[in-house]
Structure 1
């Protein structure tokens, strides 16, 4: 009986080292992030001292210098700048627009130029307007009803989709390709409903492309706020002959040199296996880019700091990469992947944060079923922190170019219900980021990086076909 009691007590006191060690390390990461986090302070400087960081701008270069300096101060094994040529598009003077219901009777409308658009003529552009629900409507109307007019794309984000990113994907084509398609039918310009689920007066910019449209045939493109779009649509139904006027002064310059900002902790056991965590340092120019993607940058920087502060010694090399030019070209992501390939670097894992600094919910994973199952097996470690979502899907734009059969790509998934209220708009500003939510995101990312480093990935060569 005494022997049985002794064995029972012994088993009860013997730790299950793998699980308990992981729990302790992850708790240490969360505790450090929530009591001694650095992300919010870094974001304050990026947002309020530097501001919007459009590729090729002075502010973008200031952000490069600031973040490199902060990484230098962390005592990493190496910090460097990776040169990359980026486009330089300048908005110019603020845009102006109105609708005219009869000669001399006008109502001002909130618009902003889409990134990459050409300017209107010096005196602005004024014409009748034709409303469509998407690019597919152009063919139905035909050139006779479109030529010489301004096309008004008014398909809203679908409010019934709980995933706001799915809703965004369902209508962003009209912003990206709307001008190129409308130009084929003789349109003089396009106005696009902002990608926003909320009714407000903020126009949301974003990238657009003319494709192979000759420069001489490119037409100006602007976004209109959701309230403005609703008013314009209602007025058109009452009076189809109204005219719309807008003026914008944007200009595309020659490419300029910028940089990806990179810092790393060298791996102690497998230094040639590289893990990346990052976000994009550039932003649009209307707000200060706090959610998109200042939050992702400072969270990624804090991942390395949190690992060091909790005393963890990585087996693999862990890099933070702050990519330049995600918003209007993806040059930074492509350059990083190109250089990694040319150096024959072995990247095994990459994690991106580019969905805002809201409360973290989980991760979206682009990987094999075997690696997905391994990550799902860690779910119980995250549940105390209310991280419950582990799904297969999109990871991130900047890490996408690194995709190959032997890499696990992951994206942090925060709650997205408020994200598109701020995305690419004037109100993407620091006061809309919650300190605790931002820190929880950094801790969640650091925890996943820790687990991936400790246990490694399952390479494609070891997966039975």
Structure 2
């Protein structure tokens, strides 16, 4: 009996020592990654070029094609095993001349307001659209007012992002339906146009664009749709309380064209032991046209590229195949993400993990995971390794739009989660520019992504061993 208990003690002692050894090894490997990113990073320089030399990269535009060519060339310089372009047809929508709008409260009494066309909107008639305004707090209120109160008017959706949501993406999700489907629903009640309060927690003069849809609305029934800045939304709402018969004028010159060919940009380091198992890191290469798309999603693009560069520079050779995928057309169609998943399925590729960065280049706080309980518990066992970097946010549920089509089977999906408090100040607005990105925060995010990929490559999700459990404790 004594020998039996002695054996147990020795076994558990071995587990603890093994766990401590792995923890030390992993900590040192991660330290190398962070040091390389912070002391000799490339992500900020890449972003500088994308933002300041190329600029906004709306799908189907010349600048989007420039971004394809630039990132492909930079990936080739890294000495990856493969770099290629994956063709994908994308929508082409152009804004045209800058939008113009004003509020008229009486003969000759006008005040200009800041608007921007929503992506996919039709133009106004050549002379613009002018009508009375009805304010609603969301799509559901249209039914309350009915056609008799809406017909011939411009619907003003003024439900704000809720400031009491600590997770700002929850606040965004709580009101983005009025932007995406507002015009489709308002036209059913005879509205002649739509204005949507910008998805922004800050009070400023920047209108925020974003995708919208007409659903099955016939072309000849569609109405123009625009976002209005938060400051001007407040003004309009206030003046409507005392003068309901005011008129709103807007002029937009946007146009939807035929689809054009573009590309996903893909680079690969082939795995040394299990090359058939594929890990993906990525962001979307396209952006809206108002700013230069530095946070959305230039940051995610260069961080994903940096993951592969960090592995090359530190000498780490992944056991599984590692791909960077720079997706085209996330903003107004998700064509790139769907095409990548379609091709992967047609080739019977085995994707074991995919990580997306599409929440800005702010300080990394952790990750969210689309994973089952066993897989997520294994992820939690790595949490202690991130503690020295003040990264503690590990949540189950959610990943990223472009990698979403890969979901299924045993594939684990993850999204980098930076601090989100300032993200919607710049999201889809002219203020999303390079000067809003902090170099150190960007580089911390790239290293954080590379560290997670290293752990997935080292331990995978097939087995939960006692050494890993020990690390979690």
Q: TM-score, normalised by structure 2?
A: 0.94
Distance 1:239 1:434 in 2: 45
CA distance in 1, matches of 2:330, 2:252: 24
1:427 aligns with 2:417: no
Matched, 1:366 2:370: yes
Q: Residue in 2 aligned with 1:196?
A: 200
Aligned to 2:277: 273
Report the aligned-residue RMSD. 1.4
- Mapping of 1:217-228 within 5 angstroms? 217-228=221-232
**In the alignment, is the contact (CA less than 8 A) between 1:370 and 1:458 conserved in 2?**
no
Paired residue for 1:247, among 235, 246, 251? 251
Paired residue for 1:88, among 74, 82, 92? 92
1:167 is aligned, of 167, 171, 190, to 171
Q: Does 1:45 align with 2:52?
A: no
Query: Which residue matches 2:345?
Result: 341
Residue matched to 1:233: 237
Indicate whether 1:62 and 2:66 are aligned: yes
1:355 aligned residue: 359
Q: Give me the whole-angstrom Cα distance separating, in 2, the residues matched to 1:442 and 1:107.
A: 45
Residue pair 1:351, 1:409 contacting (<8 A) in 2 also? yes
Aligned-partner Cα distance in 1 for 2:432–2:105: 33
**Out of 394, 402, 405, which is 1:401 matched to?**
405
Q: 2:106 aligns with which of 102, 105, 117?
A: 102
Residue 295, structure 1, aligned to residue 299, structure 2: yes
User: Matches of 1:14 and 1:97 in 2, distance apart?
Assistant: 67
Contact 1:47-1:429 at 8 Å conserved across structures = yes
Deviation at 1:255, TM superposition (A): 0.1
1:19 and 2:23 correspond? yes
Q: Secondary structure at the match of 1:184?
A: helix
Of 286, 289, 293 in structure 1, the residue corresponding to residue 290 of structure 2 is 286
**Residue of structure 2 equivalent to 1:451:** 455
TM value normalised by structure 1: 0.95
Q: Name the counterpart of 2:9.
A: none
CA deviation after TM superposition for structure 1 residue 16, in Å: 4.0
Cα distance in 2 between the residues matched to 1:14 and 1:177: 55
User: Is 1:307 the equivalent of 2:314?
Assistant: no
Pairs within 5 Å for 1:77-226: 77-226=81-230
Aligned counterparts of 1:260 and 1:17: Cα–Cα separation in 2: 40
Q: Give the Å deviation of 1:19.
A: 1.5
CA distance in 2, matches of 1:64, 1:222: 29
Equivalent residue, structure 2, for 1:328: 332
**CA–CA distance in 2 between the matches of 1:294 and 1:155?**
29
Decide whether aligned partners of structure 1 residues 279 and 15 sit closer, same or farther in structure 2, where only a CA change above 3 A counts.
Answer: closer
User: SS state of the match for residue 256, structure 2?
Assistant: strand
Cα displacement (A) at 1:434: 0.1
For the residues of structure 1 that align with 2:429 and 2:150, how far apart are their CA atoms?
Answer: 29
Deviation per CA, 1:348-374: give whole Å up to 9, x if none: 000000000000000000001111011
Per-residue deviation at 1:175?
0.1
Structure 1: which 5+ runs fail to align?
1-10, 461-465
Q: CA deviation at 1:104?
A: 1.1
Shift of 1:18: 1.6
Unaligned runs of 5+ residues in structure 2 are 1-13, 465-473
Q: Does 1:384 align with 2:388?
A: yes
Show CA shifts across 1:195-223 (max 9, x none).
00000000000000000000110000000
Q: Provide Cα deviations, 1:83-111, integer angstroms capped at 9, x if missing partner.
A: 00000000000000000000211000000
Counterpart of 2:33 (choices 6, 16, 29) is 29
